[in-house]
Structure 1
């Protein structure tokens, strides 16, 4: 029988996010680990290279506004119904971060290549787009199996140093319930380390349940789990609670200026 995984704290997770870390964070509907923000701001790792899987939002914007980010690779940055991400937009305007424009399929392809141990993944959908003009690390090559002209784009593997996400629950052995959010599994498979915050830790073993097993990220791919109730707020979490749109809008309003952003941070995470 497998041994129980010892729980960690959000401070313990933050301690694993080092300077220049390539940090992967999921899209807003897939469990954003907002519960680590306070600990992460106190630790203040520098020159972070953020990866939005496949889009970025509030947590990315907070880290950018706090001056902790060197680069961002993602397909979009948005606060959803609350509008654009103010700190991100300022950073792009003043070129204080490096933006690596991508697409949702390209993000997933890069993670898939990493999890399979391949140096790259070939794609077709990028042919003819302006995104290629901005990505010198992507290559266009001839399909070696085609007898006619058939260009494909080669996207390099994405290897996050650390992935962090929030999920509804884990069991005592460290297996995590992710349901249909398979991008979370892709992040974990591709990453050197994966940490998860959860609403609760249950006694039953998920992999013993035939119906649940398909929606489980096995403990083999998880380095640590912290219990954080409402750990995605003000985002929602599937099957648990909805997003707090008013709170997201308050952030968007405050963060329109640097002074307003600093005030919001001091009120939320003092």
Structure 2
């Protein structure tokens, strides 16, 4: 049974230098604020498969030592300003990837094998900057060459979901990438909008969209925990707020001004 803890206690489980898998849907902005408040440094972020404002905040707060991702973008609000500035400054180790490669790496970790073969990137410039990706002859069939990518086994999977039951089962709906993160990670930390009394595994219909508590370590309640990003079936994203962040974070001073207000607002919600 997963333990239900405070948001602060959940953030304290993250240690400097650990690798953390974060998603593009079901983003825990509440936990992100708590991590920034806790001052955890040298985090090794794995974006599943991309990220946006969450990664940009962590980068701007000087908490990231390495980042593996297919992209970091604020979508309609434009590029991620702190990410761009940090890449230009060489502030962290950037590991360029692709969406299929990241999912393949997570799958390898889930299966307990050291690598997973993928197709489609033979001849890509990515192979020049990812020496850990190897091109080999396919050992079976007539596939020719394939690329093998190492397993990705994050220390922590961190995401936000609508609800958990008291046994620690998490409703993730159709967002199976969240399950992939949990299966591959050593520990899974989840924030949720609420705890419900009903058993989410009670029926076939409900259980189909649930991550069992077997894969969950700690849960914290954080109302509107994805804000200003959306949470499926709960609330839309606050596009105006993301745009405001994008404008302010273009400068170091503007970023810190935004961050101060963001942390203060998260405390009020908590």
Select the residue among 117, 136, 156 that pairs with 1:122.
117
Whole-angstrom distance in 2 between the partners of 1:42 and 1:230: 18
Show the counterpart of 1:23.
Answer: 20
The 2-side partners of 1:158 and 1:248 are apart by 30
What is the root-mean-square deviation in Å for CA atoms of aligned residues? 1.1
Q: For structure 1, which segment, 51-60 or 35-44, has the greater mean C-alpha deviation from structure 2 after superposition?
A: 35-44
SS at match of 2:201: helix
Q: CA deviation at 1:149?
A: 7.4
Aligned to 1:253: 247
- Contact 2:77–2:246 under 8 Å retained in 1: yes
Mapped to 2, the partners of 1:242 and 1:231 lie a distance apart of: 12
Distance in 2 (CA, whole Å) between partners of 1:165 and 1:185 is 10
Give the TM-score, by structure 2 length.
0.95
* Structure 1 consecutive aligned stretches of length 4 or more whose deviation exceeds 4 Å: none
Q: Could you give the per-residue CA deviations for residues 97-155 of structure 1, whole angstroms, max 9, x where no partner exists?
A: 11100000000000000001011000111111111111011100001124x67110000
Gaps of 5+ in 1: none
Matched, 1:74 2:69: yes
Q: How far apart, CA to CA, are the structure 2 residues paired with 1:61 and 1:149?
A: 39
Q: Which residue of 2 aligns with 1:265?
A: 259
What is the rounded CA distance, in whole Å, between the counterparts of 1:22 and 1:166 in structure 2? 18
Query: Relative to structure 2, which stretch is displaced further, 37-46 or 244-253?
Result: 37-46
Shift of 1:37: 2.6
Deviation for aligned residue 1:216: 0.6
Aligned match for 1:233, one of 227, 230, 236 = 227
Q: 1:149 to 1:181 in 2, by over 3 A?
A: closer
Which one of 176, 183, 187 corresponds to residue 189 of structure 1?
183
Post-superposition shift, 1:267?
1.9
Give the CA deviation at 1:44.
1.2
Alpha-carbon deviations, 1:175-199, whole Å to 9, x = none? 0000100000000000000011111
SS at match of 1:208: coil
How far, CA to CA, are the matches of 1:157 and 1:233 in structure 2?
31
Counterpart Cα distance in 2 of 1:19 and 1:68: 9
2:11 alignment partner in structure 1: 14
2:29 corresponds in structure 1 to: 34
TM-score by length of 1: 0.95
1:6 offset after TM fit, Å?
A: 3.7
Residues 47-105 of structure 1: per-residue CA shift (max 9 Å, x gap):
11101000011111111011111110010100111111000000011111111000000
**Equivalent residues in 2 for 1:74-223, closer than 5 Å:** 74-146=69-141, 150-223=144-217
Q: Deviations over 1:156-188 (max 9, x none)?
A: 000100111000111110000001000000000
CA distance 1:118–1:251, change in 2 (3 Å): same
Separation in structure 2 between the aligned mates of residue 161 and residue 180 of structure 1, nearest angstrom: 24
